[in-house]
């Protein structure tokens, strides 16, 4: 067990290396001189040269990369080109809304998709199964921002049940908080609910056809226990993969949904930073989300080994 | 005399054999077409995709008004006999813009799935053959996957600037790892077959084995994956244009019409409903078609 976990953790290192190189080169391939961008086009040549020296832009690219990585490990993500505030503190201010939105979306989609997927597998070919399949098909065909706009038109503009946009933090009261996040969470979670529904149905079907389930049925295990315990536990490995992928997708997909609903999270920050050409902030956000994703993948891998001990041996 | 007879016999047999083989191939094709037609959902998907392609090709004939024409006196007007889908905030005809938007979406989707399909397949097949290359490519794929395609596309667009060409480049880059993985895993399966071993034994060059014997066998899963890449590229292009990081301002695109609709959500429902329907239906069509092709090429999923 320990050996498996250590092996998984070590496998993360090359991935982090690739992630950091890609993000670093993305920003450094940007046409245009960052020093000019900060000082404005009417700055004197001397000022630009001085700033380039101060920012370390005259060093060879590998040296710049190493310096950047060392800074990142010290928690220093540089300063915003526009507001000159440290990127780390800018990110901190926008972190919670994104996490809350993604978590809410995941909770909704898990509660909807797992039972529906299991019921569809149980009633294979029947009307229930077909309805679930159609819902899942719609889920993967309607982009989250489009669903968001539709929900907004229906529930905010027409029926005025939910606010059109804006975000109420926890401190504004739990009900307001949940009200402000309900529509965005549904918009974001629907696609992942559809993916999880499909995967739950498919893997349950596979398990339900196996001999040990027939055996359990023959010895008189009740329907609920059969599906909920015997079958579900074995179907869980492939469902876990989709859950991990969905959390990752929800975190980055939040970029678009947040913009639709005007939620001040990391996603709307990255979109507004693109308009301002604030590459330091963009770099910081992408690095943060990529690191979280690597971490989620690691957790999923380790969770596999708890669910299915065979994986540890391989 | 005997040899001549033998030769005649041989030639006759051969032509007979090839005609039988042709007949067999024709029958197999017919069986496949029948199986595809029996699956109603995939036929619906095919019909939707064909209609969308026709709309894209015939856009200048179907559209009623030049999509760039501004009728400033009739801004934000609801659907009427003159403007079937209403007008946008500067008086452009939404119907014509949605029709021309089909062109942009399909062009982006098609180019992305073609480019990422070809490059992904080359990378996938090579990495199935060479262990060192495989390790390097797969680590890069893992890294890119952690950044996630949405964020990577947004960043690339930020760096490259808004244009159709750049949308295609970023989405192709983002989707190459997907295709490469699919090509790689099916190449692994093909590589273990006996006839590949036999090719090695008779001394065939690696490039011959890779491109003439392994590559064609990985084609069908790659094609299935390409239809899904097509669908997801349409979604991502619309999302990028919605965020203002996709196609440049004046170009008609479903995403940019939706963006205008977001700012006028209280009074201009037609700016959201029509481009939204076009996006959802074309993505649905591609997904149905993709599912159909997959079921057809891979009978195990049934």
What is the complex's ipTM, to 2 decimals? Answer: 0.86
Rounded Cα gap, residues A184 and A260, in angstroms: 8
Nearest Cα of chain A lies from the Cα of B27 at a distance, in angstroms, of 30
Nearest Cα of chain A lies from the Cα of B221 at a distance, in angstroms, of 19
Test the A interface: residue of B143, B161, B170, B286 with most A CBs within 10 Å = B143
Cβ(B101)–Cβ(B230) under 8 Å?
no
DSSP string, A156-176: IIIS--S-SS----GGG-HHH
- Provide the pLDDT for residue B99: 94
Cβ(A207)–Cβ(A213) under 8 Å?
yes
Kindly report, residue by residue over A211-261, the tens digit of the pLDDT. Answer: 888 898 898 888 888 888 888 888 888 888 889 889 998 988 888 899 999
Overall number of domains in chain A:
1
Nearest to A249 among B148, B158, B245 (CB): B148
The answer to the question of residue A165 being in a domain is yes
Q: For residue A143, what are the domain limits?
A: 99-266
Rounded Cα gap, residues B259 and B12, in angstroms: 69
Portion of chain A with pLDDT greater than 70, in percent: 96
Those residues of chain B that have pLDDT short of 70 are 1-3, 298-302
The answer to the question of residue A31 being in a domain is no
Test the A interface: residue of B136, B148, B149, B295 with most A CBs within 10 Å = B148
Question: Which of A250, A113, A261 minimizes the C-alpha distance to A179?
Answer: A261
Kindly report, residue by residue over A248-303, the tens digit of the pLDDT. Answer: 989 888 888 999 999 999 988 988 888 787 888 888 999 999 999 999 989 988 88
- Provide the pLDDT for residue B293: 86
The answer to the question of residue A87 being in a domain is no
- Provide the pLDDT for residue B301: 46
- Provide the pLDDT for residue B1: 53
Rounded Cα gap, residues B261 and B257, in angstroms: 6
What is the 8-class DSSP label of residue A126? Answer: S
What sign results for the dihedral spanned by CA atoms B63, B67, B73, B79?
positive
Rounded Cα gap, residues A267 and A271, in angstroms: 6
CB atoms B239 and A145 under 8 Å: yes
- Provide the pLDDT for residue B302: 41
Question: Which of B55, B61, B65, B58 minimizes the C-alpha distance to B87?
Answer: B65
- Provide the pLDDT for residue B241: 92
Nearest to B159 among A17, A29, A138 (CB): A29
| CATH of residue A137 | 1.10.3720.10
The answer to the question of residue A192 being in a domain is yes
Nearest to B243 among A23, A248, A256 (CB): A256
Kindly report, residue by residue over A150-192, the tens digit of the pLDDT. Answer: 999 999 888 888 888 888 888 888 888 888 999 999 999 999 9
Nearest Cα of chain A lies from the Cα of B251 at a distance, in angstroms, of 18
- Provide the pLDDT for residue A3: 85
CB atoms B276 and A294 under 8 Å: no
Cβ(A262)–Cβ(A162) under 8 Å?
no
The partner residues of B87 in beta bridges, in order of sequence, read: B93
CATH class held by domain B41-301: mainly alpha
Kindly report, residue by residue over B9-58, the tens digit of the pLDDT. Answer: 777 777 888 888 888 888 888 887 887 888 888 899 999 999 999 999 99
If you average pLDDT over every residue of chain A, what do you get?
Answer: 87
- Provide the pLDDT for residue B298: 66
- Provide the pLDDT for residue A47: 80
- Location of structure tokens 């529904």: A197
- What is the mean predicted confidence (pLDDT) over A96-115? 93
The answer to the question of residue A64 being in a domain is no
């Amino acid at each position: 067990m320990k050996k498996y976990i250590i092996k998984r953790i070590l496998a993360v290192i090359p991935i982090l290396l690739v992630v950091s190189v890609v993000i670093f080169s993305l920003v450094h391939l940007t046409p245009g001189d960052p020093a000019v961008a900060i000082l404005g086009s009417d700055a004197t040549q001397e000022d630009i040269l001085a700033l380039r020296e101060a920012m370390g832009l005259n060093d060879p690219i590998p040296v710049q990369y190493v310096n950047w990585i060392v800074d990142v490990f010290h928690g220093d993500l540089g300063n915003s080109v526009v507001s000159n505030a440290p990127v780390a503190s800018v990110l901190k201010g926008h972190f919670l809304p994104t996490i809350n939105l993604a978590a809410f979306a995941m909770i909704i989609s898990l509660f909807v998709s797992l039972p529906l997927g299991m019921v569809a597998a149980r009633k294979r070919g029947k009307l229930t199964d077909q309805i679930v399949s159609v819902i899942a098909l719609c889920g993967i065909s309607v982009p989250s921002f489009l669903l968001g706009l539709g929900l907004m038109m229906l529930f905010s503009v027409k029926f005025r049940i939910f606010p059109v946009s804006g975000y109420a933090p926890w401190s504004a009261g739990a009900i307001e908080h949940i009200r402000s996040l309900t529509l965005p969470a549904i918009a974001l979670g629907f696609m992942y609910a559809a993916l999880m529904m499909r995967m739950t149905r498919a893997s349950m079907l596979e398990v339900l056809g196996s001999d040990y389930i027939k055996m359990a049925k023959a010895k008189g295990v009740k329907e609920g226990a059969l599906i909920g315990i015997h079958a579900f536990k074995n179907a869980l490995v492939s469902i876990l993969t989709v859950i991990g992928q969905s959390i990752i997708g929800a975190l980055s997909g939040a970029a678009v949904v947040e913009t639709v609903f005007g939620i001040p999270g990391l996603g709307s920050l990255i979109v507004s930073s693109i308009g301002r050409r604030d590459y330091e902030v963009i770099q910081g956000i992408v690095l943060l989300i990529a690191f979280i994703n690597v971490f989620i993948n690691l957790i999923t891998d380790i969770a596999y080994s708890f669910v299915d001990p065979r994986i540890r041996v391989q | 005399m005997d040899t001549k007879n033998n030769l005649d016999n041989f030639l006759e047999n051969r032509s007979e054999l090839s005609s039988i083989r042709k007949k067999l191939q024709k029958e197999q094709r017919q069986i496949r077409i029948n199986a595809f037609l029996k699956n109603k959902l995939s036929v619906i998907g095919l019909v939707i995709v064909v209609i969308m392609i026709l709309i894209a090709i015939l856009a200048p004939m179907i559209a009623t008004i030049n999509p760039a024409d501004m009728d400033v006196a009739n801004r934000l007007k609801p659907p009427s006999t003159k403007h079937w889908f209403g007008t946008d905030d500067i008086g452009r005809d939404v119907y014509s813009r949605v029709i021309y938007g089909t062109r942009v979406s399909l062009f982006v989707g098609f180019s992305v799935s073609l480019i990422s399909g070809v490059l992904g397949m080359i990378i996938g097949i090579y990495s199935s053959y060479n262990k060192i290359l495989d390790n390097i490519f797969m680590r890069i794929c893992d890294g890119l996957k952690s950044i996630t395609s949405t964020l990577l596309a947004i960043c690339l667009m930020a760096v490259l600037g808004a244009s159709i060409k750049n949308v295609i480049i970023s989405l192709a880059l983002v989707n190459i790892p997907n295709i490469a993985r699919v090509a790689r895993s099916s190449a692994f399966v093909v590589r273990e077959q006996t006839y590949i071993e036999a090719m090695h034994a008779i001394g065939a060059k690696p490039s011959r084995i890779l491109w003439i014997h392994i590559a064609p066998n990985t084609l069908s899963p790659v094609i299935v994956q390409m239809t899904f890449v097509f669908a997801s590229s349409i979604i991502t292009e619309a999302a990028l244009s919605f965020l203002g990081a996709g196609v440049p301002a004046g170009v008609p695109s479903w995403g940019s019409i939706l963006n205008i609709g977001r700012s006028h959500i209280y009074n201009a429902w037609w700016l959201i409903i029509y481009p939204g329907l076009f996006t959802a239906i074309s993505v649905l069509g591609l997904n149905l078609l993709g599912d159909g092709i997959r079921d057809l090429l891979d009978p195990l999923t049934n």
